[in-house]
Amino acid sequence: MQLKPAPSQLRRRLIAASCALLSTSAARSQETSAPGFVGRVLKDWQFESALAYYHEDGRIQAIEPVVNASHDYGDGGNVSLNFTFDALSGSSPNGALPSHAPQTFASPSAKSFASARHPFTTRPGNLPVDPSYSTARAAGGAEWTLPLTRLSRITLGGKLSIEDDFYSGTVNASFAHDFNDKNTTVTFGINDESDIIQPIGNTPVPLSNYAAFQKEGNKSKNGVGALLGLTQVMTRNWLTQLNVSVDRFSGYLNDPYKIASVLDAGGTTTGYIYENRPDTRTRKSVYFENRVGSEHASVDLSLRYMTDSWGIRSETAQVRTRWWTPDRQHYFEPTVRWYHQGSADFFMPWLPAVDQADTRYISADPRLANFHALTYGLKYGYELGNRLHRSSSEFTVRLEYYQQTLAINNRVPDGLQGLNLYPGLKAVLIQFGWSY
Amino acid sequence: MEERPGGLLAVKFTAMACPCEVLIHGSDPTRTMGLGVMAAQEAWRIEHKFSRYRDDSVVAWIHGHRGSKCTLDAETTALLDFARQCFEMSDGRFDITSGILRRAWKFDGSDRVPEVATVAALLPSIGFAKLQWDPPDLLLPEGMELDFGGIGKEYAVDCAYDILASYCNAPFLLNFGGDLRANCAPPQGPWRIGVERPDSDRTAAMLLDLESGALATSGDSHRFLMKDSVRYSHILDPRTGWPVVDAPRTVTVAASSCTEAGLLATLAMLQGAGARAFLEEQGARHWIL
């Protein structure tokens, strides 16, 4: 005997079926012909562009223009292209600790490529930062989605990123299948990344003395990853998503510009060594997101947990809400994000001189330390009144404030008392976006 | 075009054999007329494409290729697949292949109830499950017909709504022969919708308030047969070929899209005396007369 679906389920099925029907009609009506090639490109392609300015308090600043173009074929197929350019400049911590004495370093930064070593001196009590840090990155990517059947599709993509000292290429493929009248989507994806690292002034020999100038040739690393995702329409207004992913990187995983201070028992800096990290890293993460929306407001709550073979565990929680004005021309989108991570097993803010001979792995990079960070953001969006050619046009401004607090509990040697060893990080981001 | 109280302008036209109108809040007659024409063109396009009275419609083309495989365009595929889902979720009560029952039933207020055998002879040619439907390929068996009349008008309202919504932020209401959809309420308060009294005097039996969303009405005000004091409603159950017993005269349902509201109203009608209970179970706002 066939069981009849519960009535509320019938309504859900009807809503899903109506939405599927009407979304097809919306896609179809966007296909109607337009005269002229330029008109056709402008009408058939959706463009998103943004210009972001990022400023860290006393450190790096960056300008990043982004252009994204996408085109729907109307049959579920889609192609998207994106291009990003970053220009970073400013001061970057090199990993050494502040000291009561002035410290002098040689900078391997890109700007000083010709000389490869550009000395700078850090005043007593200040965090050593390379003041002439400067790099530029150009990146481009393409993604192509094509429907296989009415319910499944495959996406193929590639990315290329070029910096002064870093080249990265990624290919990815994913397969998605809809079930349950398109209320459930299961996605499986894999990706493969290959990187070449050509540090300015060559690659330092890991754990070597900073003053010894021991250098090696170029390095490479490779990463493979897989993702399994489940997206479920719970009700007409509620969408939930669960992703599980794993990736593994192997090869040269050090930051070639990061060093660690070597301290004697009294806390006096006796020298610096280049960091060394294990040459494999496996990460596993779980991501859970819920989106609930109504006509004038929506809430998006996401949680992420990550653990890796370096001993880092991190948790992220984010709440994002969006409020539209009654005419739906304007919206405000406040966001709060909380992030916490535990330190890597080999993270040490400094290396005690007595341990130097026995140390295999060490990094003093604060990005591997125990810290928590809070981000507050507010985005304002304005939908431009006259929406020609049926494509929506939107102007946005986004402001974000990021505050990172390091929580490093190593006992501070007497010689370093009174110094602010682990200044956190404050940064602001302002982004202007336009999509049409 | 007419001016209406409350700063509204109305554009009127006829489509799908129904009086249609577009009401827009605003004072710019040129813009209102432009939007009204867009809505009318969309209604006429859908009427033209899915009409069973025209020999150049997609429906006529499918009927002309009975017994052979037809590959349908994306829109027709989506509509037919929607009809399939409605057929499945209603356990066969909603069936776009049931139009041939019109050959037996003529709802003209008379007492000409067909012979049992006449109706029974049509049943083998009814049933969505008898179609060979492998989207976008359809094989319509000999003797069968498709009729999108049960969803076409509501679908047209939603399509016209999408077009208007992308051009117009001002409050507007689309009314295609009693199937309605509004984007938001005009400043002076919600849209007031009059639902006709089932008896044919054309006076509004009740006034409903609609802020946004859709309303659809299914009814048999003017289409029924009367014999031996039994009123045969024009709501036919495709599984038997006979009218649903004790169906309400008029069912009006509110939902977010007109397609959804229309289907809920039709499915409620097909429940006969159980219409009210059915709609209450669905959690849909409804009015039954």
Q: Length of chain B, please?
A: 289
The pLDDT of residue A93 is 86
| Residue A294 in contact with partner chain B when CB distance is under 8 A | no
Whether B282 sits inside 8 A of A10 (CB atoms) is yes
Task: Name the amino acid, one letter, at B192.
Answer: R
Helix (H/G/I), strand (E/B), else coil: A118: strand
Task: Decide: B240 and B230 in contact? Cβ < 8 Å.
Answer: no
d(CA A46, CA A128): 45
- The mean of the pLDDT values for chain B is 86
Is the predicted pLDDT of residue A116 greater than 60, yes or no? no
Helix (H/G/I), strand (E/B), else coil: A245: strand
Q: Among A1, A11, A294, A331, pick the best mutation site for testing chain B contact (most B Cβ within 10 A).
A: A11
Task: Find the mean pLDDT for residues A165-186.
Answer: 91
Residue from the list A17, A25, A390 with its beta carbon closest to the beta carbon of B75? A25
Say which residues have a Cβ less than 8 Å from residue A324's Cβ, sequence separation at least 6: A295, A296, A297, A330, A331
Domain of B46 in residue numbering reads as 2-288
Could you tell me the two tokens for B266?
């039709």
Query: Which residues 16-75 of A have a C-beta within 8 angstroms of B?
Result: 17-22, 24-29, 74-75
Partnered with residue A404 across adjacent β-strands are A373, A425
Neighbours of A360 (CB within 10 A): 9
Is the predicted pLDDT of residue A118 greater than 70, yes or no? no
Task: Name the amino acid, one letter, at A98.
Answer: P
How far CA B185 is from CA of A284, A326, A425, in Å, comes to: 49, 10, 48
Q: What is the pLDDT of residues B187-208, one digit of tens each?
A: 888 888 877 665 555 555 677 8
DSSP secondary structure code for residue B124 in this structure: G
d(CA A106, CA A200): 12
| Residue A330 in contact with partner chain B when CB distance is under 8 A | no
Is the predicted pLDDT of residue A33 greater than 50, yes or no? no
Which residues in chain A are classed under CATH 2.40.128?
198-436
How far CA A184 is from CA of A21, A177, A233, A237, A343, in Å, comes to: 17, 8, 6, 14, 37
Say which residues have a Cβ less than 8 Å from residue B281's Cβ, sequence separation at least 6: A7, A8
d(CA B112, nearest CA chain A) in Å? 36
The pLDDT of residue A334 is 96
The pLDDT of residue B96 is 92
Task: Find the mean pLDDT for residues B133-154.
Answer: 90
Q: Which has the minimum average pLDDT: A272-276, A323-327, A352-356, B219-223?
A: B219-223
What pLDDT band is residue A108 in, cutting at 50, 70 and 90? Answer: low
Is the predicted pLDDT of residue A16 greater than 90, yes or no? no
d(CA A337, nearest CA chain B) in Å? 33
Helix (H) or strand (E) holding A255: none
Task: Find the mean pLDDT for residues B200-218.
Answer: 77
d(CA A428, CA A61): 9
Domain A198-436 sits in CATH 2.40.128: yes
The number of helices, as runs of H, and strands, as runs of E, in chain A is 2, 23
Residue from the list A10, A13, A21 with its beta carbon closest to the beta carbon of B78? A21
The pLDDT of residue A252 is 96
The pLDDT of residue B201 is 54
Strand-strand pairing, A238-251 and B286-288: unpaired
The pLDDT of residue B198 is 58
Q: Give residue B109's Cα distance to chain centre.
A: 21
Task: Find the mean pLDDT for residues B125-143.
Answer: 91
Helix (H/G/I), strand (E/B), else coil: A211: helix
Percent of chain A predicted with pLDDT > 90: 47
How many domains does one find in chain B? 1
Q: Which has the minimum average pLDDT: A35-39, A159-163, A297-301, B22-26?
A: A35-39
| Residue A151 in contact with partner chain B when CB distance is under 8 A | no
More confident residue, A89 or A110: A89
Task: Find the mean pLDDT for residues B37-65.
Answer: 89
CATH number at residue B284: 3.10.520.10
Task: Name the amino acid, one letter, at A339.
Answer: Y
For residue A327, list chain B residues with Cβ-Cβ distance below 8 A.
169, 184
d(CA B268, CA B165): 29
d(CA A247, CA A236): 34
Task: Find the mean pLDDT for residues A340-353.
Answer: 94
The pLDDT of residue A91 is 82
Is the predicted pLDDT of residue B249 greater than 80, yes or no? yes
Is the predicted pLDDT of residue A113 greater than 70, yes or no? no
The pLDDT of residue A215 is 86
Say which residues have a Cβ less than 8 Å from residue A423's Cβ, sequence separation at least 6: A127, A406
Whether A392 sits inside 8 A of B166 (CB atoms) is yes
Task: Find the mean pLDDT for residues A188-210.
Answer: 92
Strand-strand pairing, A259-263 and A351-352: parallel
Peptide bond preceding B136: is omega within 30 degrees of 0, i.e. cis? yes
The pLDDT of residue B103 is 84
Helix (H) or strand (E) holding B41: helix B29-50
C-alpha closest to that of A137 among A55, A224, A62: A62
| Residue A123 in contact with partner chain B when CB distance is under 8 A | no
The pLDDT of residue A266 is 85
Task: Name the amino acid, one letter, at A183.
Answer: N
What pLDDT band is residue A39 in, cutting at 50, 70 and 90? Answer: very low
How far CA B73 is from CA of A60, A165, B68, in Å, comes to: 55, 52, 16
Task: Find the mean pLDDT for residues A282-294.
Answer: 93
The pLDDT of residue A74 is 65
Chain B residue whose CA is closest to A25: B75
Task: Decide: A371 and A422 in contact? Cβ < 8 Å.
Answer: no
Task: Decide: A69 and A82 in contact? Cβ < 8 Å.
Answer: yes
HSE-up of residue B29 (Cα within 13 Å, Cβ side): 4
Is the predicted pLDDT of residue A111 greater than 90, yes or no? no
Task: Decide: A413 and A267 in contact? Cβ < 8 Å.
Answer: yes
Per-state percent for chain A, helix, strand, coil, to nearest 5: 10, 55, 30
Q: What is the pLDDT of residues B277-287, one digit of tens each?
A: 999 888 888 88
Q: Among A8, A10, A25, pick the best mutation site for testing chain B contact (most B Cβ within 10 A).
A: A25
The pLDDT of residue A30 is 45
Whether A14 sits inside 8 A of B86 (CB atoms) is yes
DSSP secondary structure code for residue A412 in this structure: P
- The mean of the pLDDT values for chain A is 85
d(CA A170, nearest CA chain B) in Å? 34
Q: What is the pLDDT of residues A377-410, one digit of tens each?
A: 999 998 775 444 444 678 999 999 999 999 988 8
More confident residue, A76 or A364: A364
